[in-house]
Structure 1
Amino acid sequence: MNPKKDIRQSSPPATNRVDSPKPQPKATILQGEILGINDSETDSPIGSFDFRNFSYPSPRGWQDADSKQFSLKNGQRELTDEKIGMAYVATKFGDVTGDGQDEAFVILRVKTGGSAIPQIVYIYEWRNKRPELLWYFRTGDRADGGLKRVYEKNGDLVIELFGRDRYIFDQMETKKIVGDEQQLCCPTHFTRNVYKKKGHRFVLEGKRLTYSLEDKNAEPEKNMNEKRLEENRESRQ
């Protein structure tokens, strides 16, 4: 007698499901425009000054216990347990005072001991055969308000920061607005702001414009922070 054959179909072997990786934001060369050749030369006397070996005022929060300024030697100031480190990055030039002579926009990087890239920009004019400080400000870190570019246009100072609706208030970059969560490595937007020199100050002029880095054809959004606050007020009514 022939034994019965088991005619039940065996289940196919189990397979491990592999989910497709989520698309990641495209990396941006964060320092590309700062290190580029645009605006890096001038015929004005300030163009021959050595900003790699010079003393600068320390921004609030990063001052030494015994001094309110620091000095670079060959473009460096080493990080220690007691003192913040600094490094020269680049100098850009443009006439933002209307005197017919270019000013210098000196960009330094703060050495934090980690991967953060906060920076400080010092703006100097040439007076009495030496640089004289007009203004300085500190930026955020990469996508979180980091410096994209600083330059002159139509006699005004233009500052571009990574992130949505970012701008300089007094000497510090503003806090991020609600909803501006981005990976530090990979900014998706930047904000362009125009500053005009009035007396001894640089004053923000016009709208704060937020541009998309992913959609070059998209129209910029204006003053996003005020828009978000208005939307929040309306939603609570």
Structure 2
Amino acid sequence: MIGTIRKLSSLLSLLELTDSGLFCPPAGIFIDPWRPVERAVITHAHSDHSRWGMKHYLAHHHSAEVMKLRLGQEISLETVDYGQSLDFNGVKISLHPAGHIPGSSQIRLEYKGQVTVVSGDYKVENDGLSTPFEPVKCHEFVSECTFGLPIYKWETQAEIFNQVNSWWRKKRCRRAKFGSFCLFLRQSPTDSPKSGSKRGGGFCPWCCLEYQSGFACKWN
């Protein structure tokens, strides 16, 4: 698998796969590296993309508080808005909405007329909380593909939420306990004042950060 990825990465003009992750040699930056490096551009704050040990981080400003809570308040973190362009040794780098979670970003790199976009985790269906996915014109698109196989056929968010809420309504008279394995940012459809269900205490810090950052869940 790694050998195949290395062969594919050799076809890209601006990126190469190293033992530390995707690297852009002209800019001297890594994207979501999995080992400590000098400078890392982070697509979003989930722990499989934003890791401890980087000397300098660059991310969208909506990712900042969660990254600091997870990685430490003392990390060297620069934040930008969507569409804001920075120059690294002649490579223009900007972040664009990925629709995955608040702050999730596609990374756009432009160098000598060539444009490459790294998607990070992304979702094209608007969840009402994250900034919706924005198609970015490019010559090369490096897509996250965790669930890219055709065996995965997803129902719409509304259908999934309705199924979970319907199950909960049927079971609540029996005082059934409902547990769900979720990523650490709001991904639980039934945790609403109307439904009467509650998150466990472990979610509290992440929820507080969302509200403090101006994000409010919209309940149907």
Range class of TM-score, shorter chain: under 0.3
More strand by share: 1
TM-score (norm 2): 0.25
Greater Rg over alpha carbons, structure: 1
**Greater fraction of residues in helix:** 2
